[in-house]
């Protein structure tokens, strides 16, 4: 059974940093691109970032380019999102999503507020 479990969410002040992690199981991790998608409270879904199976290719939404870094550790079946210079508008549930966009984690809530 495919499982994606996010961790690392929480409350952070504007300008602060936070690191989200997603542990994957139930599939051959390094065969898949992995994505982060976010959803602000009561709002729709927005793509944030993606990384290739071997980690050599990454991409970011314009809104997070230069502030967020996606990475993966294929030995540990984890994908991470390092978020810096956080803004109030980054507040959202962040979902880890398997390439193919078929499986989603339960989400990690990030709140940016003073």
Partner 1 sequence: DVVMTQFPLSLPVTLGQPASISCRSSQSLVYSDGNIYLNWFQQRPGQSPRRLLYKISNRDSGVPDRFSGSGSGTDFTLKISRVEAEDVGVYYCMQGTHWPYTFGPGTRVDIK
| Contacting positions for partner 1 (CB under 8 A) | 35, 44-47, 50, 59, 61-62, 95, 100-102, 104-107
> What's the DSSP call for residue 104?
B
- Which CB atom, from 59 or from 91, has the smaller least distance to partner 1? 59
Nearest-approach distance from CB 113 to partner 1, in angstroms: 22
- Which CB atom, from 3 or from 13, has the smaller least distance to partner 1? 3
Nearest-approach distance from CB 49 to partner 1, in angstroms: 9
* CB neighbourhood size of 59 (10 A): 14
Q: How buried is residue 75: exposed, middle or buried, by Cβ count under 10 Å (0-12/13-18/19+)?
A: exposed
- Which CB atom, from 13 or from 28, has the smaller least distance to partner 1? 28
- Which CB atom, from 14 or from 110, has the smaller least distance to partner 1? 110
- Residue 100 Cα distances to 33, 73, 104, angstroms: 8, 19, 10
Nearest-approach distance from CB 6 to partner 1, in angstroms: 10
Tokens of 6: 């996010």
Contact 49, 68 (CB under 8 A): yes
């Amino acid at each position: 059974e495919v499982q994606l479990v996010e961790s690392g969410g929480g409350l952070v002040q504007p300008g602060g940093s936070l690191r989200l992690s997603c542990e994957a199981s139930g599939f051959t991790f390094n065969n898949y691109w992995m994505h982060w998608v976010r959803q602000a409270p009561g709002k729709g879904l927005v793509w944030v970032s993606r990384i290739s199976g071997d980690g050599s290719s990454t991409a970011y939404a314009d809104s997070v380019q230069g502030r967020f870094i996606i990475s993966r550790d294929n030995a540990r079946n984890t994908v991470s999102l390092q978020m810096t210079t956080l803004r109030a508008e980054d507040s959202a549930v962040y979902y880890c999503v398997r390439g193919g966009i078929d499986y989603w984690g339960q989400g990690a809530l990030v709140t940016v507020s003073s």
